[in-house]
């Protein structure tokens, strides 16, 4: 995956990583974070419509469309983020074995947020929401 010049030895900050639009299947999404590029949701061949719509309502800092990037696997979930690492963003977890099953966490610029976890509890903190996926 990735073209010439996309792989580096030094991890790039999440918001500085280039998007690699090479088509990718669920089985090929890695367990751990990709440190040199972003895999966009639109490159994921099996991406559910709910994920492709995750950027709706997320403001863009530069006027360009907000892209949705793959982050990692957490238990049976695939974690994606629409928006910047810090600021207005929406995280979406899609279950790898049931792509119609998805959860989201909305993070606001002031650091507050909310999302329903895998245990159906409401979480005000992203870290706690993320733990519910394990």
Residue 69 lies in a domain: yes
Q: How far is CA 113 from the centre of its chain?
A: 16
Residue 2 lies in a domain: no
In the prediction, which pLDDT does 24 show? 98
Residue 120 lies in a domain: yes
Mean pLDDT by 10 residues, the chain (134 residues): 53 88 97 94 98 96 93 98 94 98 97 97 97 97
In the prediction, which pLDDT does 12 show? 82
Residue 68 lies in a domain: yes
Cβ(22)–Cβ(40) below 8 Å: no
Neighbours of 89 (CB within 10 A): 23
Residue 8 lies in a domain: no
How many independent structural domains does the chain possess?
Answer: 1
Residue 9 lies in a domain: no
Q: Which residues form the domain of 122?
A: 14-131
In the prediction, which pLDDT does 2 show? 47
Separation CA 123–CA 113 (nearest Å) = 8
């Amino acid at each position: 995956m990735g073209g010439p010049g996309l792989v580096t030895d030094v991890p790039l900050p999440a918001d500085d990583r280039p998007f690699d639009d090479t088509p990718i299947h669920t089985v090929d999404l890695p367990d751990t974070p990709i440190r040199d590029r972003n895999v966009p949701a639109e490159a994921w061949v099996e991406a559910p419509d709910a994920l492709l719509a995750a950027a709706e309502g997320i403001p863009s800092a530069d006027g360009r469309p907000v892209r949705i990037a793959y982050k990692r696997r957490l238990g049976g979930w695939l974690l994606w983020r629409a928006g910047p690492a810090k600021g207005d963003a929406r995280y979406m977890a899609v279950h790898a074995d049931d792509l119609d099953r998805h959860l989201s966490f909305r993070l606001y610029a002031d650091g507050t947020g909310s999302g329903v976890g895998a245990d159906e509890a409401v979480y005000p903190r992203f870290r706690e929401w993320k733990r519910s996926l394990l």
